[in-house]
Structure 1
Amino acid sequence: MTALGERTESGRGSDSVVMTLLRAREVGIGLLIVVVVLVTAANNSHFIDSSSIEQLLSGAALIALLGVGETLVIVTRNVDLSVGSVLGLSAYIVGDLFKYHHIPVWSGFVIGTLVGVLAGALNGFIVTVMRVPSLVVTLGMLYVIRGIDGVIVSGDRIDPEAIPSGFSAVGYKDVLGIPWLAIIVAVVVAGVGYAMRSFRASRDLYAIGSNPDAAALAGIPIERRVFTAFLISGALAGLGGALFLALHTQIDNSGGQGYELSVVAAVVVGGVAIFGGSGTVVGAALGALLLNTINQALVASRISAFWNQAVAGALLLAAIAFDRWLSLRVTKTLQSAEGAHREL
């Protein structure tokens, strides 16, 4: 076999190793969810009632939805901390339009998504064109949008009677015990997951996160891809706002507060490397489900809810440490393989 052939086989082998590790991470999270459910159910049998399962799925759905967009951004070595604020603003605008303008049910989801698209486009423009670090941009946008939300709300509140029953049905109806909200998010996760595996534009995101300089030399349009990632993240946060309103049927200026940290934690715990270049939206969704399961398990076990934040923080630190260790191991393995080929 030629040296070129050996390098090709080595590259394929390395890719296979990485994909195997990613799949193992997702399987491990799934098993951990099962363990938490079984242990909690042993102490409280009501934890596995159909109503409790529906609550678990509904509670994790919104974080998982925002986690899909966050995954696209983090894979490119960026971060979007404005998703919670975008969700809150979107939810209130849609609720306000229902209350005072009686818009059609379907338009609530469209308008909510468009609010997110505008926010995502602004984030993407500042990051890619003005070249300001995404952490600074989205942290600033978090407070800017909260301020705008506060001015618009101005002490007002959208109550359940203002929300059309057809709209709120998305938040509480189910199909064979599975909430509509969870089904919608599962479709989004499946669609984006397929695109991330199948389309070149999506795979470019991984190349950008793995090595931006090499990606630029390969002719990948980095600015366009990163802008698109922020645009999608904003759009899903906007859609999440509409779904948040459908689930809770009320909103004020506190809607979505703290979601950004929950989303980042779910994504990283789900196997998306905070340093960029690897991870899947399925893993992010499982991370959201794991954190919500732990939260509900603590409640069912009558343990203080403050422990939920401690557990989430511990899992986040463990995931970041593991990703760093894995990155160093993969780099060392590739360097060793390259050195062996050079000797040949």
Structure 2
Amino acid sequence: MHKDFKQQLFLFFASHRESGIFIVIVMLASLITLRAPVFFSLENMRDIGMDISALIIVAIAQTMVIITAGIDLSVSSTLALCAMTVGTTVRAYPDTPLFLLVCLGIALGALLGMFNGLLISAGKVPPIIATLGTMSMYRGLVFVVSKGSWVAPSDVPERLRRLAWTRIANVPMLILWAVLAAVIFAYFMKYTRSGRQIYAVGSNLKAALVSGFQVERTRFLVYVFSGALAGFAGILWIARFSVVQNNTALGFELQTVASAVVGGTSIYGGSGTILGTILGALFIGILANGLTLVHISEFWQLAVQGLVILGAVIINALIARRLQRLMTLRQI
């Protein structure tokens, strides 16, 4: 009886990864609060929300890519290139309408994502190799576009800043953009045919081909989404910080992968949810914020982040192995 209960409990948390990460978040927040009571202040909660908003948007894209058994290491460079392009454009042409600036950032991001998609779907280049190459290439283009300079706060007009800082019901727009992206893509992944194809391609490629799914089109599509969302995040980045440098968002791709994997997305593809990724990003945001509040060096934060990714991958592998063993026992 006790063994059956443990199995049922395991199956519940294995099939509802969000519940597990939510419990971990509550425990982590409680531990931080014991050391730093200011953690639960409204201002600090708002700061965490602002810190993870761009991460959530790009991590949503990374989640879709990982579900297809791929990975996009170029998202940080795409974000930086789009932010730098928008920044230098508005610096050269201060009267450029906000709508055109937003369209420029998203369109450029989508174009960069299309290039990744073509390399992977048409060129058959492994995703990790293709996006590792474009990560360096796009970062190099940031230097080309900037010509060695950086976008300063004086170059960023107030109308662009409002994209992040305008408040609705005392909630900054930056946070609301992340919520909107989460709602749209959660619906897309769960209720649309294209969303279901993304899961099918990652879970069983042969079955997807036999079922008549457009596998290469689906792979191409997720990289376009990834680029477009990274481009949008780049616009929000400059709107929030009013600064773009050549090293902007350097290493950000690891945080997006961590958010997805910690949130329960299988690094092998085929499973994962947008809600899980949001919780994963929240976990990372709370961890970084908490380590800062208890005066732990940011260099240690990078080490902890690496350990979190490694731990999440190991836990996912152990869960998958245990599930397979249970399914085998039930068939006997």
Q: Which TM-score bucket, shorter chain as reference? A: over 0.9
Residue equivalent to 1:202: 195
Q: Distance in 1 between matches of 2:204 and 2:197?
A: 11
Paired amino acid for 1:64: I
Match of 2:97 among 101, 104, 127: 104
Residue equivalent to 1:144: 137
Q: Distance in 1 between matches of 2:114 and 2:310?
A: 31
What's the CA shift for 1:175? Answer: 2.9
Q: Distance in 1 between matches of 2:214 and 2:288?
A: 41
SS at match of 1:267: helix
Match of 2:312 among 309, 319, 324: 319
Residue equivalent to 1:230: 223
What's the CA shift for 1:236? Answer: 0.2
Q: Structure 1, residues 216-264: CA drift from partner, whole Å, max 9, x if none?
A: 1111110001100111011000101001000101112111111111111
TM-score (norm 1): 0.89
Cα pair 2:14 2:319 within 8 Å, conserved: no
Residue equivalent to 1:250: 243
What's the CA shift for 1:276? Answer: 0.4
Cα pair 2:78 2:231 within 8 Å, conserved: yes
Q: Please show how residues 289-300 of structure 1 align to structure 2 within 5 Å.
A: 289-300=282-293
Q: Please show how residues 251-330 of structure 1 align to structure 2 within 5 Å.
A: 251-330=244-323
1:95 aligns with 2:73: no
Q: Distance in 1 between matches of 2:11 and 2:116?
A: 31
SS at match of 2:176: helix
Residue equivalent to 1:189: 182
1:53 aligns with 2:82: no
Q: Structure 1, residues 294-326: CA drift from partner, whole Å, max 9, x if none?
A: 111011011222221222222211211121122
What's the CA shift for 1:18? Answer: 7.5
SS at match of 2:220: helix
Q: Distance in 1 between matches of 2:237 and 2:109?
A: 13
Q: Structure 1, residues 191-223: CA drift from partner, whole Å, max 9, x if none?
A: 111111111221111111111112111111100
SS at match of 1:290: helix
Cα pair 1:266 1:287 within 8 Å, conserved: yes
Residue equivalent to 1:167: 160
Q: Distance in 2 between matches of 1:22 and 1:189?
A: 21
Match of 1:38 among 12, 27, 30: 30
Q: Distance in 1 between matches of 2:192 and 2:270?
A: 16
Paired amino acid for 1:209: G
Paired amino acid for 2:37: S
Cα pair 1:73 1:230 within 8 Å, conserved: yes
Match of 2:73 among 78, 81, 96: 81
Cα pair 1:63 1:288 within 8 Å, conserved: yes
Percent pairwise identity: 30
Residue equivalent to 1:67: 59
1:129 aligns with 2:122: yes
SS at match of 2:139: helix
Q: Distance in 1 between matches of 2:11 and 2:129?
A: 31
Cα pair 1:54 1:177 within 8 Å, conserved: no
SS at match of 2:52: helix
What's the CA shift for 1:78? Answer: 0.5
Paired amino acid for 1:70: Q
Q: Distance in 2 between matches of 1:218 and 1:59?
A: 42
Residue equivalent to 1:27: 19
What's the CA shift for 1:137? Answer: 0.3
Q: Distance in 2 between matches of 1:136 and 1:98?
A: 34
Distance 1:189-1:19 versus aligned 2 partners, 3 A rule: farther
What's the CA shift for 1:48? Answer: 2.1
Q: Structure 1, residues 80-109: CA drift from partner, whole Å, max 9, x if none?
A: 000000000000110111111121112222
Gaps of 5+ in 1: 1-16
Paired amino acid for 1:192: F
Q: Provide the aligned C-alpha RMSD in A.
A: 1.7
Paired amino acid for 1:264: V
Distance 1:289-1:189 versus aligned 2 partners, 3 A rule: same
What's the CA shift for 1:22? Answer: 4.1
Cα pair 2:152 2:243 within 8 Å, conserved: yes
Gaps of 5+ in 2: 1-9
Q: Distance in 1 between matches of 2:35 and 2:310?
A: 28
Q: Distance in 1 between matches of 2:220 and 2:161?
A: 32
Cα pair 2:13 2:20 within 8 Å, conserved: no
Q: Structure 1, residues 259-286: CA drift from partner, whole Å, max 9, x if none?
A: 1111111111111100001001111111
